[in-house]
Amino acid sequence: AILGQYYLHALPGIFIQVSVIACLIAVLMTYGHMNLNNEVTAMRASGMNFWTITRPAIIFGLVVSVFVFWTREHLVPVSAVRSQDIKKMYMTKEGGETTNMKAIENMTFYGMNNRLFFIERFEPKTHAAKGIIIIQYDDNQDIKEKIVALEGVWTGVVWKFIQCQISTHDTDETGKKTVKVKAYKDKLMDIKETPRDFMQQQISMSFVNIRQLKSYIARFNNDTSSRALQNLKVDLYEKIAFPFGNLVIVFVGLPFALMVRSRRRSIFTSLGVAIVIGFFYFVVNAVAIAFGKAGILPPLLSAWITPLLFVGIGIIAIESDFAN
């Protein structure tokens, strides 16, 4: 029963991952088979153009895209966390702690005031952190302040750091960089992040819906955390663009399916084309997203460049094969 619950909650995420390649294979096999039986030739001879012939497939791709978008927004955030909880409670030796209560090891994330957090271990149960390093950057991304603490405890209002050392980096009138170091046995810190914010860092962006992500971005818009804001915007635009990959991949696959004219071509031809197109789509998309998070591409462009590129490839293929 537990195993069944685990796979039941994992199904939405699995559906999201395989939907693109499944749509592509379905379209290639369907229209490839029609083409081998000269059904497409008969349609073209009767005066039907590419768009009339492929309209059902395009509508199918659009419907799947909408359904993927809805599933990713409403089902995946809940089911993915639940499946992880079941896995940790019943399928690992560390069972007994849910996602929100399990200790987080080696946490790294960007916070407010352009701060980069490194935390060796965070205990959600006690709201205690150990091995804390916080680096604050200025607008030029130079180190402004470095905080090192043996441990930190949430008092309910603020963070209290124990065995804390604060290094302040500055530049004097001559342009020489100086560093002032102060040590504290314990110190109340002006840090806006709460334990709840820390716990949310372990949740993958794939488990967060667009509304939650927009709320998180709005929080950083009033801050100077440019790197964190860049990453969040890329994730936001990717969440909007990804579902339309089903429609795009169907659009790209259709001309290739209709190009198959030889009766000697087997069903493996369609599968081979699907694998190649799907592979390049995912590779190009992964590279574009990485470039967006690295600041090489604008967030909006990094999310949409792959769908636009493959739509262009599809149009070129259509024009070359259906020009006449």
Give one word for 175, left, alpha or beta, with left for phi > 0 and alpha for psi -120 to 50: left
Looking at the structure, tell me whether residues 111 and 195 fall in a common domain: yes
Decide: 99 and 81 in contact? Cβ < 8 Å: yes
Which of residues 157, 187, 202 is at a domain's end? 202
Residue 195 forms part of a structural domain = yes
Residue 38 forms part of a structural domain = yes
Which of residues 176, 202, 228 is at a domain's end? 202
Decide: 236 and 11 in contact? Cβ < 8 Å: no
Residue 86 forms part of a structural domain = no
Looking at the structure, tell me whether residues 38 and 115 fall in a common domain: no
Q: Is the pTM above the cut of 0.85?
A: no
Which of residues 202, 228, 245 is at a domain's end? 202
Looking at the structure, tell me whether residues 181 and 246 fall in a common domain: no
Decide: 120 and 130 in contact? Cβ < 8 Å: yes
pLDDT at 69: 94
Q: Would you give the DSSP letter of residue 185?
A: E
Looking at the structure, tell me whether residues 280 and 193 fall in a common domain: no
Q: Would you give the DSSP letter of residue 1?
A: -
Residue 293 forms part of a structural domain = yes
Residue 142 forms part of a structural domain = yes
User: Which of 155, 148, 110 lies closest to 131, judged by CA?
Assistant: 148
Looking at the structure, tell me whether residues 59 and 112 fall in a common domain: no
Looking at the structure, tell me whether residues 55 and 112 fall in a common domain: no
Tens of pLDDT along the chain (324 residues)? Answer: 788 888 888 888 889 989 988 998 888 888 878 877 888 889 888 988 888 999 999 999 999 999 999 998 888 888 877 887 777 677 655 444 445 567 777 676 777 887 878 788 888 888 999 989 888 878 776 788 999 999 999 999 999 999 999 999 887 777 788 889 999 999 999 998 888 877 766 556 667 788 878 876 775 565 444 666 787 889 899 999 999 999 999 998 888 777 755 545 555 666 677 788 888 999 999 999 999 988 899 999 999 999 999 999 989 888 887 655
| Structural domain of 159 | 100-202
CA torsion, points 20, 22, 24, 25, in degrees to nearest 10?
160
Domain count within the chain:
2
Looking at the structure, tell me whether residues 171 and 258 fall in a common domain: no
Residue 309 forms part of a structural domain = yes
Alpha-carbon distances of 322 from 46, 49, 121, 265, 277, rounded to whole Å: 14, 8, 61, 21, 20
Residue 11 forms part of a structural domain = no
Residue 112 forms part of a structural domain = yes
Looking at the structure, tell me whether residues 163 and 252 fall in a common domain: no
